[in-house]
Structures are given as C-alpha cells and as structure tokens.
Amino acid sequence: MGLVIKALIGALVVILIGVLSKTRNYYIAGLVPLFPTFALIAHYIVGTERSIEALRTTIIFGLWAVIPYMVYLISLYFLIGSMKLPYALLCAVVCWSLAAWLLISIWTRFHA
C-alpha cells in the first residue's frame, strides 16, 4: 500500500507542475521538483543510522551538490537556443553527470 501512496504523491506533483506551468506564474513550476523530499529521507536515514557528524558531512556535501544542478540549468539555458529541446535536455543531463562525477571525485579525494 505504501508504494501506491508514493505513486499517487508523485502523480500529484506532476499534476501540480502541469497546472503551475499554465498559470501567470509559470516559473514556480521549476520550484516544485526542488522540494527536498529525497533530502529529507536521506537526512533521516543518515541521522538515525549514523552519527551526527556523518549527518553534518552529508549536509555539507548536499550544499556542494547544488553545483551539478547549476551546471545543468546553465547548460540548458544556453543549449535551448541552438538545438531542439529533447537534445538540449539530454546534453544538459550529460553536463550534470560530468559535474556530479567531478564533484564526487574531488570530494572523495579530500574527505576520504
């Protein structure tokens, strides 16, 4: 039953994004997916299964993890002017993946 509830919540979020994208304040649709659902889950799990110091490290890494998302947004902003949207989205995801890989590589080198 828990899986059905999670699927319904996901569907409601998609509907909310769709509805917001049609309003005068369409840009708010970009804020909805950034609600920290998975961060809440990750922080709860780390906070209950590990030490407070491990949770603090996870939080600091989360702050740095904003960088790949910014790389995604910046690359998409520029790519949509020169290619079709599906290709621009794909390229932006590749940019995010490279930035995430670089972040993880640097983080593990200095925080291992």
13 vs 69 pLDDT, higher one: 69
Considering only 9-18, 59-68, 98-107, which range has the smallest mean pLDDT? 9-18
Checking if the pLDDT of 33 tops 90, the result is no
Region 95-105 average pLDDT: 97
Nearest to 88 by CA among 101, 99, 74, 102: 74
CA dihedral 106, 107, 108, 111 (to 10 degrees): 130
State how far the Cα of 4 lies from the Cα of 16, in Å rounded to an integer: 18
Q: Is the pLDDT of residue 1 over 70?
A: no
Which residues are CB-neighbours of 21 under 8 A, at least 6 positions away? 29
